[in-house]
Amino acid sequence: MTDPAGISRLPGPGTFEQYVLVSPWVAMGALGVAGFAAFVILNTRARAGLGLVLLGVAALLAAGVYLASTLVETTGEKLAARTRDLVDACVKVDESALRDLVSTDVVLDVPVSAGPQGLDGLLSVLRQYIPRYEIREHSVGALAWSIDGDNAARTRARVTAEPEATRLPHSTWLLISWRKTADGQWKVRTITAEQIDGVPSR
Protein backbone atom coordinates (compact mmCIF):
# COMPACT_ATOMS: atom_id res chain seq x y z
CA MET A 1 0.00 0.00 0.00
CA THR A 2 1.37 3.42 -0.89
CA ASP A 3 1.56 6.27 1.56
CA PRO A 4 -0.78 9.21 0.92
CA ALA A 5 0.55 12.32 -0.76
CA GLY A 6 2.50 14.61 1.53
CA ILE A 7 3.45 11.88 4.01
CA SER A 8 7.04 10.69 3.82
CA ARG A 9 7.98 7.10 4.55
CA LEU A 10 9.74 6.15 7.77
CA PRO A 11 13.27 4.79 7.25
CA GLY A 12 12.30 1.32 8.49
CA PRO A 13 14.59 -1.49 9.66
CA GLY A 14 17.98 -2.26 8.13
CA THR A 15 18.47 -5.01 5.56
CA PHE A 16 19.59 -7.67 8.04
CA GLU A 17 16.76 -6.95 10.48
CA GLN A 18 14.15 -6.82 7.73
CA TYR A 19 15.09 -9.98 5.83
CA VAL A 20 16.38 -12.14 8.68
CA LEU A 21 14.51 -11.14 11.83
CA VAL A 22 11.26 -9.56 10.57
CA SER A 23 10.47 -11.13 7.17
CA PRO A 24 12.79 -14.12 6.74
CA TRP A 25 11.01 -15.74 3.80
CA VAL A 26 13.00 -13.94 1.09
CA ALA A 27 16.33 -14.95 2.64
CA MET A 28 15.12 -18.51 3.20
CA GLY A 29 13.91 -18.74 -0.41
CA ALA A 30 17.18 -17.35 -1.75
CA LEU A 31 19.17 -19.88 0.27
CA GLY A 32 16.93 -22.70 -0.95
CA VAL A 33 17.28 -21.67 -4.59
CA ALA A 34 21.05 -21.25 -4.27
CA GLY A 35 21.45 -24.65 -2.64
CA PHE A 36 19.29 -26.39 -5.25
CA ALA A 37 21.09 -24.62 -8.12
CA ALA A 38 24.47 -25.66 -6.71
CA PHE A 39 23.29 -29.28 -6.47
CA VAL A 40 21.96 -29.31 -10.06
CA ILE A 41 25.13 -27.77 -11.47
CA LEU A 42 27.47 -30.08 -9.54
CA ASN A 43 25.34 -33.11 -10.34
CA THR A 44 25.74 -32.46 -14.08
CA ARG A 45 29.51 -32.46 -13.47
CA ALA A 46 29.41 -35.80 -11.67
CA ARG A 47 29.95 -34.17 -8.28
CA ALA A 48 26.58 -34.96 -6.76
CA GLY A 49 28.12 -35.60 -3.34
CA LEU A 50 29.44 -32.07 -3.04
CA GLY A 51 26.15 -30.77 -4.39
CA LEU A 52 24.25 -32.59 -1.65
CA VAL A 53 26.59 -31.12 0.96
CA LEU A 54 25.99 -27.59 -0.31
CA LEU A 55 22.24 -28.22 -0.48
CA GLY A 56 22.34 -29.41 3.12
CA VAL A 57 24.31 -26.35 4.21
CA ALA A 58 21.81 -24.06 2.50
CA ALA A 59 18.95 -25.89 4.22
CA LEU A 60 20.66 -25.52 7.61
CA LEU A 61 21.23 -21.81 7.01
CA ALA A 62 17.58 -21.33 6.01
CA ALA A 63 16.50 -23.16 9.17
CA GLY A 64 18.81 -20.92 11.20
CA VAL A 65 17.27 -17.81 9.67
CA TYR A 66 13.77 -19.05 10.48
CA LEU A 67 14.76 -19.94 14.05
CA ALA A 68 16.30 -16.50 14.58
CA SER A 69 13.14 -14.80 13.30
CA THR A 70 10.96 -16.78 15.74
CA LEU A 71 13.21 -16.38 18.79
CA VAL A 72 14.21 -12.72 18.42
CA GLU A 73 11.62 -9.96 18.75
CA THR A 74 13.10 -6.73 17.45
CA THR A 75 12.39 -3.34 18.97
CA GLY A 76 10.41 -2.46 15.85
CA GLU A 77 8.21 -5.53 16.23
CA LYS A 78 7.59 -4.67 19.90
CA LEU A 79 6.57 -1.15 18.91
CA ALA A 80 4.31 -2.46 16.14
CA ALA A 81 2.55 -4.68 18.68
CA ARG A 82 2.19 -1.77 21.10
CA THR A 83 0.80 0.37 18.28
CA ARG A 84 -1.95 -2.20 17.68
CA ASP A 85 -2.56 -2.36 21.43
CA LEU A 86 -2.81 1.44 21.51
CA VAL A 87 -5.44 1.53 18.77
CA ASP A 88 -7.43 -1.23 20.47
CA ALA A 89 -7.28 0.63 23.79
CA CYS A 90 -8.44 3.89 22.16
CA VAL A 91 -11.38 2.20 20.42
CA LYS A 92 -12.43 0.51 23.68
CA VAL A 93 -11.54 3.60 25.78
CA ASP A 94 -9.64 1.21 28.03
CA GLU A 95 -8.16 3.51 30.66
CA SER A 96 -6.05 0.82 32.30
CA ALA A 97 -4.43 -0.20 29.01
CA LEU A 98 -3.90 3.43 27.99
CA ARG A 99 -2.11 4.22 31.25
CA ASP A 100 0.26 1.33 30.50
CA LEU A 101 0.88 2.50 26.92
CA VAL A 102 0.80 6.30 27.08
CA SER A 103 2.91 8.91 28.89
CA THR A 104 1.05 11.16 31.31
CA ASP A 105 2.21 14.17 29.28
CA VAL A 106 1.13 12.75 25.91
CA VAL A 107 0.14 15.24 23.22
CA LEU A 108 -2.68 14.54 20.76
CA ASP A 109 -2.28 16.53 17.53
CA VAL A 110 -5.02 16.49 14.88
CA PRO A 111 -5.44 18.63 11.72
CA VAL A 112 -8.57 20.45 12.87
CA SER A 113 -7.25 21.76 16.19
CA ALA A 114 -4.47 21.60 18.72
CA GLY A 115 -4.91 18.46 20.74
CA PRO A 116 -5.36 18.31 24.51
CA GLN A 117 -2.30 17.96 26.67
CA GLY A 118 -1.77 14.92 28.84
CA LEU A 119 -3.32 11.52 29.30
CA ASP A 120 -6.42 12.90 31.00
CA GLY A 121 -7.06 15.12 27.98
CA LEU A 122 -6.73 12.15 25.63
CA LEU A 123 -9.15 10.13 27.73
CA SER A 124 -11.59 13.03 27.69
CA VAL A 125 -11.51 13.21 23.88
CA LEU A 126 -11.96 9.46 23.53
CA ARG A 127 -14.89 9.40 25.94
CA GLN A 128 -16.50 12.25 24.03
CA TYR A 129 -16.14 10.91 20.49
CA ILE A 130 -15.80 7.11 20.53
CA PRO A 131 -19.31 6.36 21.92
CA ARG A 132 -20.80 8.81 19.44
CA TYR A 133 -19.58 6.82 16.42
CA GLU A 134 -20.18 3.29 17.78
CA ILE A 135 -17.30 1.68 15.93
CA ARG A 136 -18.35 -1.83 14.92
CA GLU A 137 -14.91 -2.94 13.74
CA HIS A 138 -11.45 -1.55 13.11
CA SER A 139 -8.10 -2.59 11.70
CA VAL A 140 -4.49 -1.44 11.72
CA GLY A 141 -2.53 -1.64 8.48
CA ALA A 142 0.58 -0.33 6.70
CA LEU A 143 2.56 -0.44 9.94
CA ALA A 144 6.06 0.99 9.72
CA TRP A 145 8.61 2.02 12.30
CA SER A 146 11.80 3.97 12.78
CA ILE A 147 14.20 3.59 15.71
CA ASP A 148 15.56 7.11 16.16
CA GLY A 149 17.84 6.49 19.16
CA ASP A 150 18.27 4.37 22.26
CA ASN A 151 15.18 5.91 23.85
CA ALA A 152 13.25 7.35 20.92
CA ALA A 153 11.23 5.80 18.11
CA ARG A 154 8.26 6.39 15.80
CA THR A 155 5.57 4.22 14.31
CA ARG A 156 3.10 5.02 11.55
CA ALA A 157 -0.11 3.17 10.82
CA ARG A 158 -3.25 3.42 8.75
CA VAL A 159 -6.18 2.90 11.10
CA THR A 160 -9.48 2.02 9.45
CA ALA A 161 -12.70 2.15 11.45
CA GLU A 162 -16.24 1.28 10.44
CA PRO A 163 -18.98 3.14 12.36
CA GLU A 164 -22.22 1.31 13.03
CA ALA A 165 -24.31 4.13 11.52
CA THR A 166 -22.75 4.13 8.05
CA ARG A 167 -20.90 0.80 7.93
CA LEU A 168 -18.43 2.52 5.60
CA PRO A 169 -14.67 2.35 6.26
CA HIS A 170 -13.03 5.59 7.39
CA SER A 171 -9.25 5.80 7.52
CA THR A 172 -6.74 7.86 9.48
CA TRP A 173 -2.96 7.87 9.12
CA LEU A 174 -1.33 8.14 12.55
CA LEU A 175 2.27 9.03 13.36
CA ILE A 176 3.13 8.00 16.92
CA SER A 177 6.32 8.97 18.72
CA TRP A 178 7.58 6.75 21.54
CA ARG A 179 10.10 7.17 24.30
CA LYS A 180 11.65 4.52 26.50
CA THR A 181 11.16 5.01 30.22
CA ALA A 182 13.70 4.29 32.95
CA ASP A 183 12.13 0.87 33.57
CA GLY A 184 12.52 -0.11 29.89
CA GLN A 185 8.92 0.40 28.76
CA TRP A 186 8.08 2.15 25.50
CA LYS A 187 5.38 4.78 26.04
CA VAL A 188 3.61 7.10 23.63
CA ARG A 189 4.80 10.71 23.67
CA THR A 190 2.75 12.15 20.80
CA ILE A 191 -0.08 10.97 18.56
CA THR A 192 -0.36 12.90 15.31
CA ALA A 193 -3.19 12.40 12.83
CA GLU A 194 -1.32 13.10 9.59
CA GLN A 195 -4.33 12.51 7.36
CA ILE A 196 -8.01 11.84 8.08
CA ASP A 197 -10.53 10.92 5.41
CA GLY A 198 -12.62 13.95 4.58
CA VAL A 199 -10.50 16.39 6.61
CA PRO A 200 -8.14 18.79 4.79
CA SER A 201 -4.49 18.31 5.72
CA ARG A 202 -2.62 21.18 7.28
pLDDT of 2 reads 46
Task: Tell me the three state secondary structure of residue 137.
Answer: strand
Handedness of CA 180, 91, 128, 96 (dihedral sign): negative
Q: List, in order, residues 6 or more apart from 96 with CB less than 8 Å away.
A: none
180 class by beta-carbon count within 10 Å (0-12 exposed, 13-18 middle, 19+ buried) = middle
- Domain coordinates of the chain in residue numbers? 15-71, 75-196
Q: What is the pTM of this model?
A: 0.79
**CATH architecture, domain 75-196:** Roll (3.10)
pLDDT of 1 reads 42
Q: Which amino acid, 199?
A: V
pLDDT averages per 10-residue partition of the chain, 202 residues: 59 75 85 91 87 90 85 89 96 95 90 70 87 89 90 95 88 94 94 80 58
pLDDT of 94 reads 95
Q: Where are the alpha helices (DSSP H) in 146-201?
A: none
Phi, psi of 32, deg, nearest 5: -65, -45
